[in-house]
Amino acid sequence: MYLGILTSHPIQYQAPWLRALAKEVELEVYFAHRPDAAQQGEGFGKSFSWDVDLLSGYRHRFLKNVSTRPSPSSFFGCDTPEIAKIIEGLQDDGRRTTGQQVSGQSSVVSGQRPRRFDAFIVCGWHLKTYWQAIRACRRAGIPVLVRGDSQLMTPRSRLKTWAKEIGYRLMLQQFDGFLVVGQRNREYLAHYGVSAEKMFFAPHFVDNDFFRQKAETLKSQKTEIRKRWGVPVDAFCVLFCGKFIAKKRPLDLVEAARILTAEDAKNAKEGGKPSVHLLFVGSGELGELLRARCDVVFDAENSAEKQKPETETLKVESRGRKAEGRNLPDSVSARPRATFAGFLNQSELPAAYVAADVMVLPSESETWGLAVNEAMACGLPAIVADAVGCAPDLIEDGKTGFTFPTGDTNTLAIRLQQIAEMRQPGFNLSHALETKLLAYSLKTTTDGTLQAVQQFEAMGLVKNPI
């Protein structure tokens, strides 16, 4: 089988999938954009490059992006006309020939036509480059699959929802198959008329072995990691990992922790200290407001490592309430203790998962939430808002974590308290977490992809090379 894949840019979560597929089929991967460090850091407020290898183990090529504003974040940000020519056999990249390949490369023989793809996968439909490939596949008669993660619970205006009811039913007919990442994605496709026969389970996953092994290595250092970040050894440590932006709703976690902190303070003995401690990993535009609402004990991005004076805190609070457009407590009393570890790269993340007792993802708009997979692979349960895409797939209440109504900070506080009680000595969640991830793994996704392509072959959609 000769398979082509087009994706926006190198993504840390896709690289293991591409490597695994390259071991099973002849694979060509095309990237529409090569982001620089600044673009990679959009939303984090800082520039960075991933510290893990994203490109080895499979053949790949970066296409020429002719967009006036190159970016994987907007429809016209990835414009690659040559992908259509490559798919239709009108342009050769020096490797796609019917001749013998040596060391992953081949010479273009005079009069020889490029080899035809047996099937082609696009990783979404939200970029111009994808439609350039989709239309080319239709013209060339090459089966085309799509792997996306859209879900119905993503907030949309009534007008946009109405427009999609008509447009998406027609648009989705352009695909021969769909690689489904989870339950919400399956429901989304079914809603717009996609039949079950066209859906193949290829779930969202992370490199479970990578995170599990890293966590196992670091477990013996948990006390030292906590001390480095100012987290008391006996504290109930709650992790938020991601961009500090409005749709992630990190302020909901602060409010839920404030409720617990106030309750703990009321019940504590003289001289006692609240047990809940927030651990923030990441950065973004809400960083200042988050710090203002917490009793910051460690801040990797502020060498002073001390809380702002109360007058300055109140000013930040006022700006935050105005920016969010909702009422929030004026009081800064019972601020939960917090550590801001800053942005951590991929290989550094397991330390945060090991240090914490639970991870919280309170987002109001999250197609999946792969940080939850990472946490679970490290043995960490998760509490997620019901709007988060992975909720019905990964969360079993009381076993792998809990869900709560998006924006309901009182229920979130209750869920945190439940996890705190469950984490007492003698209660082990690791078996349930490991069992859950068996289905959300690299193997499952690779097998699902191969099943889809092989079914095309069985149906006679795959044709002989040109």
Q: What CATH code is carried by the domain that includes residue 11? A: 3.40.50.2000
Answer whether residue 466 is part of any domain: no
At residue 316, the pLDDT reads 47
Claim to verify: residue 242 and residue 134 sit in the same structural domain: no
Answer whether residue 291 is part of any domain: yes
At residue 114, the pLDDT reads 72
Claim to verify: residue 63 and residue 114 sit in the same structural domain: yes
At residue 314, the pLDDT reads 44
Q: Strand ranges (DSSP E) for 348-454? A: 358-361, 382-385, 401-404
Claim to verify: residue 76 and residue 193 sit in the same structural domain: yes
* Domain count across the chain: 2
Claim to verify: residue 122 and residue 240 sit in the same structural domain: no
pTM, to two decimals = 0.86
Answer whether residue 464 is part of any domain: no
Answer whether residue 378 is part of any domain: yes
Claim to verify: residue 140 and residue 200 sit in the same structural domain: yes
Select from 68, 7, 3 the least CA-distant residue to 34: 7
CB–CB of 357/420 below 8 Å?
Answer: yes
Query: In what helix (H) or strand (E) does residue 423 lie, and over which residues does it extend?
Result: none
Claim to verify: residue 70 and residue 161 sit in the same structural domain: yes
At residue 426, the pLDDT reads 64
Rg of the chain in Å (alpha carbons): 24
At residue 337, the pLDDT reads 95
Answer whether residue 200 is part of any domain: yes
The DSSP secondary structure of 361-391, one letter per residue, reads E--SSBS--HHHHHHHHTT--EEEETTBTTH
Claim to verify: residue 160 and residue 296 sit in the same structural domain: no
User: CA 363, 369, 371: angle at the middle one, nearest 5?
Assistant: 110
Claim to verify: residue 428 and residue 448 sit in the same structural domain: no
Spatial distance between the Cα atoms of 9 and 12, rounded to a whole number of angstroms: 10
Claim to verify: residue 273 and residue 148 sit in the same structural domain: no
Answer whether residue 465 is part of any domain: no
At residue 267, the pLDDT reads 59
Spatial distance between the Cα atoms of 400 and 41, rounded to a whole number of angstroms: 31
Spatial distance between the Cα atoms of 421 and 438, rounded to a whole number of angstroms: 27
Answer whether residue 463 is part of any domain: no
Spatial distance between the Cα atoms of 44 and 39, rounded to a whole number of angstroms: 10
Spatial distance between the Cα atoms of 440 and 438, rounded to a whole number of angstroms: 6
Domain that holds residue 218: 208-437
Select from 428, 345, 426, 343 the least CA-distant residue to 380: 428
Q: What is the pLDDT along the chain (466 residues), one digit of tens a residue?
A: 899 999 999 999 999 999 999 999 999 999 999 988 888 877 777 787 888 899 999 999 999 999 999 999 999 999 999 999 999 987 666 565 443 333 333 333 344 567 889 999 999 999 999 999 999 999 999 999 999 999 998 877 777 777 788 888 989 999 999 999 999 999 999 999 999 999 999 999 999 999 999 999 999 999 999 999 999 999 999 999 999 999 999 999 999 999 998 876 565 544 445 589 999 999 999 999 999 999 999 999 885 444 444 444 444 444 444 444 444 444 445 799 999 999 999 999 999 999 999 999 999 989 999 999 999 999 999 999 999 999 999 999 999 999 999 999 999 999 999 999 887 766 778 899 999 999 999 999 999 999 999 887 766 665 544 4
At residue 265, the pLDDT reads 59
Select from 146, 253, 133 the least CA-distant residue to 194: 146
Answer whether residue 285 is part of any domain: yes
Spatial distance between the Cα atoms of 335 and 292, rounded to a whole number of angstroms: 9
At residue 187, the pLDDT reads 96
Claim to verify: residue 282 and residue 180 sit in the same structural domain: no
CB–CB of 379/355 below 8 Å?
Answer: no
> How many CB atoms lie under 10 A from the CB of residue 426?
4
Claim to verify: residue 362 and residue 425 sit in the same structural domain: yes
Claim to verify: residue 169 and residue 280 sit in the same structural domain: no
